[in-house]
């Protein structure tokens, strides 16, 4: 068996995305992803997936050149090699990026967001070579299926007329009745029993009404509301008061650790985050100030599956809950999330996933939710196969694009519908 990496392939693609609304704007009709393939000397191919925006491609390209000659089993070395890649200073920011809504952009976090896809690809290749599923390489599964929540979005029926796009079959949802209808379809199609509403789109009273409508339609089901930091501390506390009997947790009601700590001190509704704790460096202050009660991990920017396990261990040590965040992603990432989630003992909340919103994939067979769960694959590697024709089709779309969609930008997408739109300053309400 020869585990030496002989070849690395990077394929940027554009995938169709519905007009989902968030506090910064609306999803563009196509969003970029990067598919990573690592091929061993034995001809075994491992696959990974991450963000495809140019700031990630600019790091992935020089990084990929460092890998041939290394072994897919040298997973620790992937991180030291990542440290050698220079990050353009203009890419670094302590602002929440437009469209990403996932916290700061440190150089390290940008690197980890790339290295994570290679870690997944190497583990996939290693597992395929050894005949073991990825979860076994991570120490073994402690559950046979991983639960996901329905990720509800306010949305339009279509992208603006002038913009070419793939039509989705979800229709519009811009009020409580529309959100309840969307939730019903999520339940019918996938069996989800937890519901998360992406908020920060309409004034808080409208979103309170939507959550109340969900609570009435689905009594006893776990509900979450996530305005991505759009509210002041005062507004956050008011919403928490009004929804305290029905919320499983409130996600990033206010922006940043200080504001979150103030909110947490004034309510017994747990606060979750994928914005104020998104790097290991942010943990100490947030935990010391009891600013968050649930960290929503994301293997893409936390740096892979093993870092997700490290994060879960830290959370466990401090009595903080852990679950999973998602940005728009395909089946490779859903498989990776499922493998690592299967190994985390204290996963007490259903994980987020955008997957049901994605009508396109690069897999031969889409992953399917049964009773809101994905069965943990026991076949070697990630247990999913790349469909080369689909990959090529989506890559061709990326090649044909003049750059409009090479970087996700929800603010610009909103400006197509409303030329006066700019990302609202925070707190918005
Ligand atoms: O939980 C979250 O904050 C997210 O999923 C961030 C995403 O960017 C979401 O807001 C979206 O897809 O519009
Ligand atoms: Mg969130």
Q: How confident is the model at residue 355 (pLDDT cuts 50, 70, 90)?
A: very high
Place of tokens 């989506």: 394
- The CA distance from 239 to 228, in Å, is 14
* 182 and 271 housed in the same domain: yes
> Residues 36, 389: contact at Cβ < 8 Å?
no
Omega prior to 245 cis, within 30 of 0:
no
If you average pLDDT over residues 154-167, what whole number do you get? Answer: 93
Q: Is the pLDDT of residue 331 over 90?
A: yes
Distance CA 331, CA 337 (A): 10
Contact 260, 231 (CB under 8 A): no
Residue 98 pLDDT > 70, yes or no?
no
78-82, 90-94, 250-254: least confident range:
90-94
On whether both 173 and 93 belong to a single domain, the answer is no
In a domain, 362, yes or no: yes
Same domain, yes or no: 126 and 140: no
Residues 114 and 141 in one domain: no
In the block, tokens 């005062």 appear at: 234
**Annotated catalytic, 325?**
yes
Q: Can you state the angle between helices 75-83 and 107-130, rounded to 10 degrees?
A: 160
Does the residue 424 lie in any domain?
no
Length of the chain in terms of residues written: 429
Distance 61 CA to ligand 1 centre (A): 26
Does any domain span residue 413? no
Q: Which of 103-107, 215-219, 238-242 has the lowest mean pLDDT?
A: 103-107
297 Cβ below 6 A of ligand 1:
no
Same domain, yes or no: 150 and 126? no
Residue nearest to atom 1 of ligand 1 (CA): 325
**Chain centroid offset of residue 86 CA:** 25
Confirm or reject: Cβ of 228 under 6 Å from ligand 1: yes
Q: Which residue has the tokens 């437009």?
A: 98
188 shares its domain with 110: no
Kindly indicate the confidence band of residue 414, based on its pLDDT and cuts at 50, 70 and 90: very high
**Ligand 1: centre distance to CA 77 (Å):** 31
Task: Give the strands of the sheet with 247-251, arranged side by side.
Answer: 150-153, 195-198, 223-226, 247-251, 271-273, 294-297, 321-324
Instruction: Show the DSSP H helices in 138-195 as ranges.
Output: 176-190
CB of 178 closer than 8 Å to CB of 184: no
Nearest ligand, measured from the Cα of 151: 1
Helices (H), 14-133: 54-65, 75-83, 107-130
Whether residues 149 and 178 share a domain: the answer is yes
Report the separation in Å between the CA atom of 100 and the middle of ligand 1, taken as the mean of its atom positions: 7
Kindly report the CATH number assigned to the domain that includes residue 278.
Answer: 3.20.20.120
First to last CA, the chain: 59
Across residues 136-149, what is the average pLDDT?
A: 98
Alpha carbon of 3 to ligand 1 centroid (Å) = 37
For residue 420, is it within any domain?
no
Whether residue 327 has its Cβ less than 6 Å from ligand 1: yes
Consecutive H or E run containing 252:
none
* Residue 167 sits in the same domain as residue 294: yes
Collect all residues with Cβ–Cβ distance below 8 Å to 89 and sequence separation of at least 6.
Answer: none
In terms of pTM, does the model score above 0.95? yes
Question: Which residue has tokens 């220079």?
Answer: 86
Active-site annotation holder among 128, 325, 339, 354? 325
284 annotated active-site? no
Ligand 1 nearest atom to the CA of residue 354, by list position: 12
**Band (161; pLDDT cuts 50, 70, 90):** confident
38 vs 6: CA distance, rounded Å: 8
Q: Are residues 20 and 80 in the same domain?
A: yes
Q: Work out which ligand 1 atom sits closest to the CA atom of 228.
A: 3
User: Which residue has the CA at smallest separation from atom 13 of ligand 1?
Assistant: 22
Phi, psi of 39 (to 5 degrees): -110, 130
Alpha carbons within 13 angstroms on the beta-carbon side of residue 88 total 10
Nearest protein CA to atom 12 of ligand 1, as residue: 327
Residue 417 lies in a domain: no
Helix (H) or strand (E) holding 309: helix 305-317
Tell whether 164 and 281 lie within a shared domain. Answer: yes
Task: Report the percent of the chain where pLDDT is more than 70.
Answer: 100
212 in Cβ contact with 247 (< 8 Å) = no
Q: Is the pLDDT of residue 228 over 90?
A: yes
274 Cβ closer than 6 Å to some ligand 1 atom = yes
Lowest mean pLDDT among 99-108, 228-237, 313-322: 99-108
Atom of ligand 1 nearest to the CA of 27: 13
Pocket test for ligand 1, best of 22, 98, 231, 294 (most atoms within 8 A of CB): 22
Which atom belonging to ligand 1 lies closest to the Cα atom of 100? 8
- The two structure tokens encoding residue 118: 């290679």
- Ligand 1 site, residue 22, Cβ cutoff 6 A: yes
Q: Give the range of the structural domain holding residue 50, as residue numbers without chain letter.
A: 5-133+387-402
The residue from 141, 198, 339, 354 that is catalytic is 198
Asked, for residue 410, whether it belongs to a domain, the answer is no
Q: What is the CATH number of the domain that holds 120?
A: 3.30.390.10
Q: Is the residue at 68 inside a domain?
A: yes
Q: Does residue 408 belong to any structural domain of this protein?
A: no
CB of 101 within 6 A of ligand 1: the answer is: yes
Q: Are residues 320 and 214 in the same domain?
A: yes
Tell me how far apart the alpha carbons of residues 352 and 354 are, in angstroms, rounded to a whole number: 7
pLDDT at 409 over 90: yes
- Tokens linked to 114: 């790339």
How many domains does the chain contain in total? Answer: 2
**Contacts for 16 with CB less than 8 Å, ≥ 6 apart:** 29, 30, 165, 166, 168, 358, 359, 360
Of 29, 103, 198, best ligand 1 pocket probe by most atoms within 8 Å of the beta carbon: 198
Same domain, 160 and 59: no
Taking alpha carbons only, the member of 52, 10, 36 closest to residue 327 is 52
Give the position of tokens 């069965």: 375
CA distance 345 to 335: 18
In this structure, of 47-56, 58-67, 97-106, the range with the lowest mean pLDDT score is 97-106
């Amino acid at each position: 068996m020869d585990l030496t990496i002989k070849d690395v392939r990077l394929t940027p693609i554009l995938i169709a995305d519905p007009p989902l609304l968030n506090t910064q704007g609306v999803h563009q009709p196509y969003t970029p992803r990067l598919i990573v393939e690592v091929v061993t000397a034995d001809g075994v191919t491992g696959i990974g997936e991450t963000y495809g925006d140019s700031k990630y491609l600019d790091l992935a390209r020089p990084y990929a050149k460092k890998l041939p000659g290394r072994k897919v089993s040298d997973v620790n070395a992937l991180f030291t090699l990542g440290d050698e890649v220079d990050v353009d200073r203009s890419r670094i920011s302590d602002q929440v990026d437009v469209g990403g809504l996932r916290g700061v952009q440190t150089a390290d976090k940008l690197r980890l967001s790339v290295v994570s896809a290679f870690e997944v690809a190497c583990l996939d290749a290693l597992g395929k070579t050894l005949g073991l599923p990825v979860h076994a390489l991570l120490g073994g599964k402690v559950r046979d299926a991983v639960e996901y929540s329905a990720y509800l979005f306010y949305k339009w029926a279509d992208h603006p007329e002038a913009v070419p796009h793939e039509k989705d079959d979800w229709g519009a949802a811009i009020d409580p009745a529309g959100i309840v209808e969307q939730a019903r379809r999520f339940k019918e199609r996938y069996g989800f029993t937890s519901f998360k509403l992406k908020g920060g789109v309409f004034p808080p009273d409208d979103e309170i009404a939507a959550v109340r409508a969900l609570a009435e339609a689905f009594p006893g089901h776990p509900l979450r509301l996530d305005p991505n930091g759009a509210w002041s501390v005062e507004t956050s506390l008011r919403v928490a008061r009004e929804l305290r009997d029905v919320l499983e947790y409130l996600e990033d009601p206010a922006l940043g650790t200080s504001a979150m700590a103030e909110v947490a001190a004034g309510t017994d509704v747990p606060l979750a985050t994928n914005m104020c704790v998104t790097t290991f460096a942010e943990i100490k202050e947030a935990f010391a100030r009891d600013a968050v009660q649930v960290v929503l991990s994301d293997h893409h920017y936390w740096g892979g599956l093993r870092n997700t396990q490290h994060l879960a261990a830290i959370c466990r040590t401090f009595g903080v809950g852990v679950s999973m965040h998602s940005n728009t992603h395909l089946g490779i990432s859903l498989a990776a999330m499922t493998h690592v989630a299967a190994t985390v003992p204290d996963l007490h909340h259903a994980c987020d996933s955008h997957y049901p919103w994605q009508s396109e994939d690069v897999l031969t067979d889409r992953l399917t939710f049964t009773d809101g769960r994905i069965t943990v694959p026991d076949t070697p590697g990630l247990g999913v196969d790349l469909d080369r024709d689909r990959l090529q089709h989506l890559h061709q779309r990326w090649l044909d694009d003049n750059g409009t969609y090479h970087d996700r930008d929800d603010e610009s997408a909103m400006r197509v519908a409303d030329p006066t739109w700019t990302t609202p300053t925070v707190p918005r309400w």
